[in-house]
A = this chain, B = another copy of it.
């Protein structure tokens, strides 16, 4: 099986054996935003054509991520929550003019509407690696995802625009004007915790944001610490508002870039919640393998 994780800014391909061992992997910066419309077949072919034919056999390809979005190769319709790997495998979209090639659907929820593409595959992969059927996942990032899984099905999920808001507040509002260049800024643990503490107070995010300015203005925080304070403020709000009131009952499984996961873990500890960090290196491959097995594209390992 060839597993392809094709997102907005990156393309990663993995050649795996029937029992899930990764025998080769390649990546390219040709994320979907960097590929001209109609150019997807050529880009993928350049990356993996030598993997596709092994003897008489054509190796199947399973793709996930934003490649199935409106801006991608073909739009793979969303599957509705709750969903299991087996539900997803019944809704694979076959790529036109490409033999043995499918795109995994994204997942949607209706009210309030929310969507994801790719994160559900990572979560299914993580469940397999953890050998469990249940869990509360947090995938921090530009658009953080919180995903709850019950008996092997994604039951509920929600997106928080934490990372994107952090960047835009820093770069495009009055809050950023007090902050030094990123290169002159180090992570400040105390300021981060002070942001978490403010997030616990009354007044709401729109009000708390202004304290980034006033703490700087009154020199109660040095300019170099304001970015860490803002980070704590936003992550603190995200954790309290999402997590489906489950964070105190369940261990939160953090899946994502290690440095960012560490911040979330610190914040969850501050809020007296248990958490663990799982490397997101192999979870997509593991999840795609699982879906391919369910779809009988490959045999179970």
Binding site for B on A (CB under 8 A): 70, 108, 112-115, 143-144, 158-162, 164-165, 168-169, 171-174, 198, 201-211, 214-215, 217-218, 220, 234, 237-238, 240-242
CB distance from A203 to the nearest CB of B (A): 6
Q: Is the CB of B204 within 8 A of A241?
A: yes
Assess the B237–A206 pair: CB atoms within 8 A.
yes
The answer to whether B173 touches A168, judged by C-beta atoms less than 8 angstroms apart, is yes
Known: A210-B143, A237-B205. A215 touches B173 (CB 8 A): no
Contacts of A171 in B (CB 8 A): 172
Q: Which 7 A-B pairs have the closest CB atoms?
A: A204-B241, A113-B214, A160-B206, A159-B210, A172-B172, A112-B211, A168-B172
**Interchain CA distance A268-B144 in the complex, whole Å:** 31
Please name all residues of chain B whose beta carbon is closer than 8 Å to the beta carbon of A237 when the two chains form the complex: 204-206
Cα A172 to Cα B164 in complex, Å, equals 10
Between A209, A210, A217, A240, the greatest number of chain B beta carbons within 10 A of the residue's beta carbon is seen for: A210
* 6 A-B pairs (CB sep. < 8 Å): A112-B198, A114-B214, A164-B174, A204-B242, A205-B205, A206-B234
